[in-house]
Structure 1
Amino acid sequence: MATEANPKAEAFDMVVIGAGPGGYVAAIRGAQLGLKVAVVEREHMGGICLNWGCIPTKAMLRSAEVFHLMQRAGEFGLSAQGVGFDLDAVVKRSRGVAGQLNAGIGHLLKKNKVTAIMGVASLPQAGVVEAKTEAGLMRLTAPAIVIATGARARELPGLEADGDLVWTYRHALVPPRMPKRLLVIGSGAIGIEFASFYNTLGAETTVVEVMERILPVEDAEIAGFARKQFQKQGMTILEGARVARLERHKGKGVTAHIERGGKTETQAFDTVISAVGIVGNTEGLGLEALGVRVERSHVVTDPYGRTGVEGLYAIGDIAGAPWLAHKASHEGVVVAELIAGGDPHPVDPQAIAGCTYCHPQIASVGMTEAQAKESGRAIRVGRFPFIGNGKAIALGEPEGLVKTVFDAQSGELLGAHMVGAEVTELIQGYVVGRQLETTEADLMETVFPHPTLSEMMHESVLDAWDRAIHF
């Protein structure tokens, strides 16, 4: 007999824990393939990306971009007086965009006949998911369970967020005030995007990066170009530096002790954003008891998302780098097709593009120049600057660079790296090229439309073989 402590189990073919960009996509694809699917989400349909990450940050960055362009109105023969902003209205628009898409996820799950459950999930034994809901405890069984619980902001000792003086990305999305002197700790995508947003709106912004250069996962040349642009915009960039500690003065800001080059200096800020990485949400699931291997807070999987425990899979941020929504979504499709009896291709991390929506934008796929050299290959590198492109000049965006890295013998496109206007849209051209195993000859023979920013992609390829026309 079913009781509150031992509820009657409902059987499914697949149960997904977490409805972020990995989980909800896995659930929908599984349902499309004829599986009976349930998804358990503890907070928001769409997960962190849709509600507190990718989408709302892009909405805020768009507001900053428009504000920046309004200030440049005179360059375009236009007039705009009294240009200002209302931070509360910017945030309201951002939350509205997230809310609209959140509702859309619920509709998609319903349309595909996925059972959506709001609750906190755990794995008491193999093949069983328990969900604590407002209505009580639910028990779900399935031969295949997909863990897609995502990750949260990492917090370092002494630098913990308090929501007042020290913020994580979540606080920065719903700020209690407009910072005047802002310290951003960490220069990955999250840190640089918020630094770019608040700096554009007028905050005096300092970025501290413990590595020897900002944007450490990007190609060094691209990162260096971006740093110069950020500095032109008024940012202070401290590379090879560490925030040793913070002194918090309630209502009066923070004193940061910054170590750099063997010396320690103190600087005063009214707001700090900590963006020093993420931690996988593995707690409370019961993974260790099931024999799941967890390293550095992330579940260890094979290229197909299998954990090594029969019928248990992990995808997305909880399964490790690269921590990107589109990687999670693709993993969701792969896992669902595998569970349904298909033979999908595994995810290749080198084929996943990374995009950072600061100003200027940054995008990349594949090997950096340094990685290509370290692989022992003979390589050819092509470059083309935005200043040589008619569309970029017409847009008033002449600062940027497209860079391509090829295997000198085979012509294989090893990597592509960009910085400048709309490169987060352009990068997909190279992603498709890599997926189709395109060579330099294929790209050279492709006709790119004029006038477009995409022509720079062509010219960069040509430049790798000393054939660039317009530079």
Structure 2
Amino acid sequence: MDIYDIVILGGGPGGYIAAIRAAQLGKRTALVERDKLGGTCLHKGCIPSKTLLRSAELYESMKRSESFGILTSDVALDFGGVQARKDAIVKQLQTGVQFLMKKNKIDVYEGTGVIAETSSSGHYNGIIDITSAEAVSTGMSSIRIGYRDLIVATGSRPRRIAGLPTHERIMTSDDALEMTEVPSSVLIIGGGVIGVEWASMLSDFGAQVTIVEAADRIVPTEDADVSRELARLFAKRRIKALMGVRLLEAGVTADDNGATVQIERNGRTETLAAERLLVSVGRTANVEGFGLERTAARVERGAIVVDRRMRTDDPHVYAIGDVIGGLQLAHVASHEGVTAVESICGLDSHAPDPASVPKCVYSRPEMASVGLTEQAAIDKGYDIKVGKFSFKAIGKALVLGESDGFVKVVAEKASGVILGVHMIGPHVTDFIGEAALAQLLEATSMQVGRMIHPHPTLSEIIGEAMLGADLQALGG
């Protein structure tokens, strides 16, 4: 039996980054992945969905090309070509991850890994049994490896609503990625990040979209001003958003003609119908099916409990990424993977403060944020000042033909220290990093406002919004 210093269950952005860091630190490392290297992010989440969003955005831009002085005729959507491009990009990136594993001399086991036993033999602290699909079909025995330390990075899956019928007309985000044609109409249950991205994409592809959200606004975790702006812009695009809605699960039906949903809103029952129903109500951590119960690790509220060094209650088991709940973002999982490995190696490393993590939403327009919302800052007792600046006064936004949206800065009034930055508008996901760095360095709104931003760029809006918090905005 091969014994490894570190074994990692799960080859997503948390798992494979942890494996690389472990190899860099001289640890003999194995990674066990039951499906494909890259995990949900590469195959079912970040990359394929953003590839489809880019095609939708480009399609929409081409339909309004006359406003740029470009005459086009018969712009048509080839959805098969859209899906082929998505698959090609995913394949290219998967090959890149495979290369990184070979380059760093990481042993990759393809199959389902299960914790068979834990012990303290002096040589290892636990054993993993790995069963490949080939072994199952041929009756071969599983492979057994030992670990001194284990990192659980088993990820998550789309959350399902109990009681909903099983039918091809009722989809999760995983199912939607494999659609062969754009439906004429879609009902989306859930107006969070995933829901609004799919709403934006499918609307641009030509579907009639209705969002059903239980909260009083869409993307309720974002700043209220950003949520309201997105709802306003969605309404202009004829994306219907129904908020404060209770789904009547018994009223969900589906047949070959489409899906029907009953909802309760403002004390009244309504019936909604569409060709497809997309359920987008969050993700569930994968905490079962791999023998976690044979360790001392603890699960609470459906997620593995860890400290800021990613340690579970078992001294030789660590956990990272979606399986521990929290923000469930790929870049957070990668950071946590590095933290777990460095903790195992005795280095001083800990998980990021959630307030310092940038969050991105790739709808049209995009949204990005870091830090506290205005209401959260008030609730924490801060005396705040707010700066807000519109993209309509930014030259590059007008050049791009995308001037909707704004940047909002929340800072402490006395010190000027930045507490949060919230953006909605063109390409904001590409420059939220500046705000995240400013917050990490505890910069003030005046310091960032006085920094020279190149002209003409979209990033100028950050400087103007920062100056706006001190009533010194120069452009408007």
Show the counterpart of 1:99: 91
Match of 2:79 among 57, 81, 87: 87
1:425-440 paired onto structure 2 within 5 Å: 425-440=430-445
| Structure 1, 352-361 or 249-258: larger mean CA deviation | 249-258
Show the counterpart of 2:202: 198
Contact 1:124–1:286 (CA under 8 A) maintained in structure 2: yes
Show the counterpart of 1:168: 172
1:67-466 paired onto structure 2 within 5 Å: 67-126=59-118, 127-133=126-132, 134-135=134-135, 136-159=141-164, 162=167, 164-245=168-249, 246-466=251-471
Whole-Å separation in 2 of the counterparts to 1:96 and 1:187: 29
SS at match of 2:114: strand
| Structure 1, 104-113 or 432-441: larger mean CA deviation | 432-441
SS at match of 2:270: strand
Provide the TM-score with structure 2 as the length reference. 0.95
Which whole-Å deviations, capped at 9, do the CAs of 1:419-467 have from their partners, x for residues lacking one? 0100001111101111222122321231111111111000001000101
- Aligned partner of 2:379: which letter? E
Show the counterpart of 2:19: 27
Whole-Å separation in 2 of the counterparts to 1:86 and 1:76: 23
Whole-Å separation in 2 of the counterparts to 1:327 and 1:425: 17
Whole-Å separation in 1 of the counterparts to 2:13 and 2:24: 17
Q: Identity of paired residues, percent?
A: 41
Whole-Å separation in 2 of the counterparts to 1:415 and 1:295: 30
SS at match of 1:399: coil
Q: 1:161 Cα shift? A: 5.1
Contact 1:165–1:248 (CA under 8 A) maintained in structure 2: no
- Aligned partner of 1:261: which letter? N
Whole-Å separation in 1 of the counterparts to 2:447 and 2:349: 27
1:39 and 2:31 matched: yes
Q: 1:249 Cα shift? A: 4.2
Q: 1:182 Cα shift? A: 0.6
SS at match of 2:431: helix
Q: 1:112 Cα shift? A: 0.4
Q: What residue ranges of structure 1 are gaps of 5+ in the alignment?
A: 1-8
Whole-Å separation in 1 of the counterparts to 2:187 and 2:128: 42
Which whole-Å deviations, capped at 9, do the CAs of 1:326-364 have from their partners, x for residues lacking one? 000010111111212211243211111111100000111
Which whole-Å deviations, capped at 9, do the CAs of 1:193-218 have from their partners, x for residues lacking one? 11111111111100000011100110
- Aligned partner of 2:144: which letter? R
Whole-Å separation in 1 of the counterparts to 2:217 and 2:331: 26
- Aligned partner of 2:303: which letter? H
Q: 1:80 to 1:161 in 2, by over 3 A?
A: farther
Whole-Å separation in 1 of the counterparts to 2:365 and 2:19: 36
Q: 1:160 Cα shift? A: 5.2
SS at match of 2:142: strand
- Aligned partner of 2:189: which letter? I
Whole-Å separation in 1 of the counterparts to 2:450 and 2:395: 21
Contact 1:366–1:416 (CA under 8 A) maintained in structure 2: yes
Q: What residue ranges of structure 2 are gaps of 5+ in the alignment?
A: 119-125, 136-140
- Aligned partner of 2:130: which letter? A
SS at match of 1:344: coil
Whole-Å separation in 2 of the counterparts to 1:249 and 1:138: 43
RMSD of aligned residue pairs (Cα, Å): 1.2
Whole-Å separation in 1 of the counterparts to 2:290 and 2:98: 24
Contact 2:165–2:254 (CA under 8 A) maintained in structure 1: no
Whole-Å separation in 2 of the counterparts to 1:247 and 1:446: 54
SS at match of 1:393: helix
| Structure 1, 46-55 or 250-259: larger mean CA deviation | 250-259
SS at match of 2:297: coil
Contact 1:187–1:214 (CA under 8 A) maintained in structure 2: yes
1:56 and 2:48 matched: yes
SS at match of 1:207: strand
Which whole-Å deviations, capped at 9, do the CAs of 1:86-127 have from their partners, x for residues lacking one? 112111111111111111111101110000001101112232
Whole-Å separation in 2 of the counterparts to 1:228 and 1:321: 29
Contact 2:37–2:94 (CA under 8 A) maintained in structure 1: yes
Provide the TM-score with structure 1 as the length reference. 0.96
Show the counterpart of 1:4: none
Which whole-Å deviations, capped at 9, do the CAs of 1:147-205 have from their partners, x for residues lacking one? 0000000001233553x100111111111432111100111111111111111111110
Q: 1:19 to 1:217 in 2, by over 3 A?
A: same
Contact 1:161–1:168 (CA under 8 A) maintained in structure 2: no
Contact 2:308–2:350 (CA under 8 A) maintained in structure 1: no
Show the counterpart of 1:3: none
1:14 and 2:6 matched: yes
SS at match of 1:142: strand
Which whole-Å deviations, capped at 9, do the CAs of 1:407-427 have from their partners, x for residues lacking one? 112221111100010000111
Whole-Å separation in 1 of the counterparts to 2:163 and 2:103: 47
- Aligned partner of 1:95: which letter? D
- Aligned partner of 2:226: which letter? I
| Structure 1, 356-365 or 245-254: larger mean CA deviation | 245-254
